[in-house]
Amino acid sequence: MAYRDTLQQLATESERTILAAYRSFTEGLLDREETVRIIAQLIAEANGRARNLADMAMAAQMMIELGEPLPVQGVDHPDEIPRLMKAANTTLTVAETSEVSEAIVARLARSEPLEAAANAAQDAMVRSGLTKGWIRQKSADACQLCEWWWREGRVWPAEHPFQHHKGCTCSPKPVLREGIKETMKTARAKGIR
């Protein structure tokens, strides 16, 4: 199974388990505090799996390019429970007054691991020290914004932030060649400009 397919499956699983917890809440089987805690914990676990998946995918792509074994970079796993509890609480508040409450909860459940994977992929590329840049690998159903970010296959410097949005399944593809032009942002960060 390809990286994007596995990532999509992980996001779908996150959505399914979190919607089950939300339904237990709406049926009165869980109180709000328990629901917030459970949602935060489930998302944190999905985010951790997404980070690990992205780390392995970046190592695999670089191994293919170099033709030699490489270790995974061991991306960071921050303590995000406080942030996720706040997000879960806010999501429940918004969902309570909406006609599409499950869609609101599902969006949080899907978008978190996708965002965690995108950030971890960039982190793994930069940490490797081998990656000089990246190209946006568009998903099959890339939106207009992702098409614009792609910029006809532009090669971005490794340190340039990978642009993504909620629910985005595009990913960076590492570029190992030298001579990639700095952007204003990366040049300033390096003290070049």
pLDDT of residue 127: 87
Average pLDDT over residues 159-183: 84
- At 97, the pLDDT band (50, 70, 90 cuts) reads very high
What's the Cα-to-Cα distance from 18 to each of 35, 94, 104, 109, rounded to whole Å? 9, 16, 11, 6
- At 18, the pLDDT band (50, 70, 90 cuts) reads very high
Residue 151 zone, left/alpha/beta (φ > 0; ψ -120 to 50; rest): left
In the beta sheet, which residues pair with residue 155? 135
Asked whether residue 90 carries a pLDDT value surpassing 90, the answer given is yes
Angstrom distance (rounded) from CA 43 to CA 109 = 6
Q: Give residue-wise pLDDT tens across range 101-126.
A: 999 999 999 999 999 999 999 898 88
Residue-range domain boundaries for the chain:
3-189
Check if the beta carbon of residue 25 is closer than 8 Å to that of residue 75. no
